Amino acid sequence: MKVLIVGANGKVGTLLSGKFWGANDFSPVALIRDSRQQTKFTGIGVPAITGDLESGVSEFLPGLDAVIFTAGSGSKTGPDKTTDVDQNAAIRLMDDCEKQSVRRFIMISAIGADPNSESDRIQHYLRAKGVADARLRSSRLDYTILAPGTLIDEKGTGRIQASEKLPHHGFLPREDLASAIVETLRNHLTIRKTIQLVSGSEKIKSALAAVVGGGDLPPIA
């Protein structure tokens, strides 16, 4: 499966690139904004392409089997940039995937994402993600929305708690999110599902399978 990692230079994207490189059922391509970042990926055997997500990257979509949206404006930017990247660029990419017949789309969202979020702390971010998620749910794409709790840089445990609606907010190591993305692509019962993730006690593959009612299925060709 040929997979484009959008936002590959971010923390999750970097971890994901490494995991895909070590898996024989995926052929990853890293989308980066700055050509100077290229050696970071080619050094581990992952080809990298340079493109501006906000302007559109439709020229890179032909021949792909899946797109993973891990991009984000980052915590140091203002609300306008959040809207530009987390909402508008994501929606533009969905539109382009539909036009180019790239059906599989994995969106990295967040617990609490909602177009009408009233969060005191990150309201604009959760609203932008919520708008993008809503557009994805209305699309013709074979999507999965993975909505983690607060992401942390600790080493992954390989164990999570997953549900379509968790009863609480929690934390999740970025490494475990990267592993969950890989297992999501391997299980086509995750298509058209929104899955919330936090640290837990169940192995990632099993936790995802429990949410969607099965697992151990071949990846989408």
Indicate the DSSP class of residue 192. T
Is-above-0.75 flag for pTM? yes
Question: Using one digit for the tens of pLDDT, what is the confidence trace for 80-110?
Answer: 889 999 999 999 999 999 999 999 999 999 9
Q: Which pLDDT band, with edges at 50, 70 and 90, does 216 fall under?
A: low
Query: What's the chain's average pLDDT?
Result: 93
Give the residue numbers annotated as catalytic, written as ranges.
125
- Long-range CB contacts (within 8 A, 24+) of 200-203: 200/159, 200/160, 200/161, 200/162, 201/159, 201/161, 202/159, 202/160, 202/161, 202/162, 203/158, 203/159
**Average pLDDT value for residue range 180-194:** 97
User: What are the structural domain ranges in the chain?
Assistant: 2-212
Q: Quick one: average pLDDT of 118-143?
A: 94
**Is the predicted pLDDT of residue 220 greater than 50, yes or no?**
no
> What pLDDT score does 150 carry?
96
The model's confidence at residue 75, banded by pLDDT at 50, 70 and 90, is low
* CATH 3.90.79.10 matches 2-212: no
